[in-house]
Amino acid sequence: MIVTRRNLLLAGGGIAALGAAGVTTLALNAGDPPERELPPVPPGKVRWSNWSGLQTCIPKAIAVPADINELQHLLRTSSDVVRPVGAGHSFGALVPTEGTIVSLDRLSALAAHDAQAMTATVGAGVRLFNLGEMLDGIGQAMNALPDINKQSLAGAIATATHGAGANLGSLSSAIAGLQLMTADGALIDCDASKNAELFDAARVSVGALGIVTQVKLQNRGPLTLRRKTWFEPIGDAIAAAPERARTLRHYEFYYITFTDMAYCISHEETDEPVTPRKPNSENEGAEELMTLRDWFSWAPWLRRMIGKGLIANQETESVVGPAWRLLSTDRPMRFNEMEYHLPREALTSVLPQVIAAIERHSEAYFPIEVRFVAEDDAWLSPFYKRPTLSIAVHMGHTQNHDFYFSEIEPIYRRVEGRPHWGKLHSLKAADLAALYPHFRDFQAMRAEKDPGGRFMNPYLRALFVG
């Protein structure tokens, strides 16, 4: 927990004393603009929307096939553009289409597992909060998980979604094999030895090659972690980050906007007994930071003083639990996000610039997230052949975030940052070709597997065709 409303009220009373020094205090409830109005949905149609509400469309149909045969029938009997969807947790326009949206929610079962090899084969539509418990039941666990548990496995690997661990790769790097259904309904199995180039392309493909229907995961045995959280000055967090990232199993930190303070999170493997589960302090913290903004956005210096003062009194917290419960949680407060993956050595130069850019906007309140990810070798992985630092910025889902593109993105691009495939960016095919050694290979593979563009919407055409 970052700050409580009770403490804010007490702080507000104390601040009144500043009036004696000639400072007038006001409690302004700035709030956020209402959600935008959308045109009505025609009779017989349904509007699809992503999690944040930024991306919407009215497709011809939304299909939820019960099995592989139904999915094959759909592809073989329709000429529509088809866009697969997971949980709709991507912020870019990966899904919107006037054709058919396909959900794999019913293709989510555990198909097979090998206790000796520590592998599990699952339907690609499984949600991460179900997958963790499913694997726990067979004595397995994933090495790393992202921080949001509502995503589908297919969506997470398609966008190279990742967790926090300098020696741990994204979810895509945990794939030992996968099954891909192409535009004509053909099923292709691929791994490092069978259809190896397709495997390298399909591990991160944003659904542009076909529909990943099944995934074989390389796992490990059950994993229990001790989660530790604490606050410290942002300068100390930046200075300590390289060593912490190197030595801790999972490490990340957030810059708490308008406070000069960082919120640090580590997870280390342990055999200690599980402790009672606590509420998600990050969710509470975001709500309280919004309150702090609403009360004091009229005076950034005062907002900084109050926020920093309240944070300084927070104690270190520790909890023990299964990795799938601690690493990946529910995030009910909606936002829109830009995240870029950068060379690790860019931390000390880039993060202060990002902080300064965010704090030029008094309406901002979400923390800035900093994580570390290991390199891998999937063609379109943002971590391809590069140990990586990831910096993410967030704005509330109804807030204007246009400045991401004019003020934040240029900072990332100056150090050859690669955007998260599921988050906001403005890059097109020519830009991406300069960042990915195998980008042209991926374009050729896409043209071979989907020559008619069945899986392409306008956004993907800009990414892969130009």
d(CA 416, CA 285): 32
Q: Same domain, yes or no, for 120 and 264? A: no
d(CA 204, CA 173): 9
Q: Same domain, yes or no, for 148 and 235? A: no
Q: Same domain, yes or no, for 250 and 385? A: yes
| Average pLDDT, rounded, for the chain | 92
Report residue 30's pLDDT band, with 50, 70 and 90 as the boundaries: low
d(CA 250, CA 269): 9
Q: Same domain, yes or no, for 134 and 230? A: no
Q: Same domain, yes or no, for 324 and 363? A: yes
Percent of the chain at pLDDT > 70 equals: 92
Question: What residues contact residue 165 under an 8 Å CB cut-off, 6+ apart?
Answer: 143, 144, 249, 250, 251, 372, 373, 374
CATH code, domain with 217: 3.30.465.10
pLDDT for 6: 39
φ/ψ bin of 258: left (φ > 0), alpha (ψ from -120 to 50), beta (otherwise): left
Mean pLDDT of 2-7: 44
pLDDT for 300: 86
Q: Same domain, yes or no, for 241 and 217? A: no
Contact 25, 19 (CB under 8 A): yes
Contact 270, 248 (CB under 8 A): no
d(CA 209, CA 201): 8
Count CB atoms within 10 A of the CB of residue 427.
18
Q: Is residue 326 domain-resident?
A: yes
Mean pLDDT of 273-280: 79
Question: What residues contact residue 380 under an 8 Å CB cut-off, 6+ apart?
Answer: 160, 201, 204, 205, 206, 421, 436, 438, 439, 442
Angle of helix 5-15 versus helix 300-311 axis, rounded to 10: 130
The number of domains in the chain is 3
Q: Same domain, yes or no, for 53 and 74? A: yes
pLDDT for 314: 81
Mean pLDDT of 64-82: 96
Per-residue model confidence as pLDDT tens digits over 358-408: 999 999 999 999 999 999 999 999 999 999 999 999 999 999 999 999 999
d(CA 407, CA 399): 16
Among the candidates 221, 236, 261, a domain finishes at 221
- Tell me: pLDDT of 326 over 90: yes
d(CA 240, CA 55): 38
Report residue 286's pLDDT band, with 50, 70 and 90 as the boundaries: confident
d(CA 96, CA 44): 18
Q: Same domain, yes or no, for 83 and 211? A: no
Q: Poorest-confidence range of 205-209, 266-270, 313-317, 392-396?
A: 313-317
Q: Is residue 11 domain-resident?
A: no
pLDDT for 18: 39
pTM for this entry: 0.93
Instruction: Determine phi and psi for 376, rounding to 5 degrees.
Output: -150, -165
- Tell me: pLDDT of 20 over 60: no
Q: How far is CA 48 from the centre of its chain?
A: 20
Helices (H), 50-195: 68-77, 128-137, 153-158
- Tell me: pLDDT of 331 over 90: no
Q: Same domain, yes or no, for 95 and 122? A: no
Q: Same domain, yes or no, for 237 and 95? A: no
More confident: 203 or 29: 203
Residues linked to residue 119 through DSSP beta bridges, in sequence order: 114, 218
Q: Same domain, yes or no, for 263 and 402? A: yes
Instruction: Determine phi and psi for 160, rounding to 5 degrees.
Output: 60, 40
d(CA 435, CA 417): 8
Q: Is residue 137 domain-resident?
A: yes
Q: Is residue 2 domain-resident?
A: no
pLDDT for 8: 42
Q: Is residue 333 domain-resident?
A: yes
CATH code, domain with 378: 3.40.462.10
Q: Is residue 177 domain-resident?
A: yes
- Tell me: pLDDT of 441 over 60: yes
Report residue 19's pLDDT band, with 50, 70 and 90 as the boundaries: very low
Q: Is residue 245 domain-resident?
A: yes
pLDDT for 283: 63
Q: How far is CA 138 from the centre of its chain?
A: 27
Question: What residues contact residue 437 under an 8 Å CB cut-off, 6+ apart?
Answer: 384, 385
- Tell me: pLDDT of 284 over 80: no
Q: Is residue 117 domain-resident?
A: yes
φ/ψ bin of 289: left (φ > 0), alpha (ψ from -120 to 50), beta (otherwise): alpha
pLDDT for 282: 61
Percent of the chain at pLDDT > 90 equals: 81
Among the candidates 162, 188, 221, a domain finishes at 221
d(CA 126, CA 131): 6
Mean pLDDT of 296-309: 88
Q: Same domain, yes or no, for 288 and 367? A: yes
- Tell me: pLDDT of 336 over 90: yes
Report residue 4's pLDDT band, with 50, 70 and 90 as the boundaries: very low
| Domain assignment of residue 396, given as a range | 224-421
pLDDT for 31: 65
Nearest-5° Cα angle at 234, 231 to 235: 130
Angle of helix 5-15 versus helix 281-296 axis, rounded to 10: 30
Residues linked to residue 396 through DSSP beta bridges, in sequence order: 335
Report residue 34's pLDDT band, with 50, 70 and 90 as the boundaries: confident
d(CA 436, CA 417): 11
- Tell me: pLDDT of 16 over 50: no
d(CA 223, CA 210): 33
Q: Poorest-confidence range of 20-24, 117-121, 235-239, 349-353?
A: 20-24
Count CB atoms within 10 A of the CB of residue 120.
23
What is the sign of the dihedral through the CA atoms of 157, 158, 161 and 165? Answer: positive
Nearest-5° Cα angle at 444, 441 to 448: 140
pLDDT for 352: 98
Residues linked to residue 350 through DSSP beta bridges, in sequence order: none
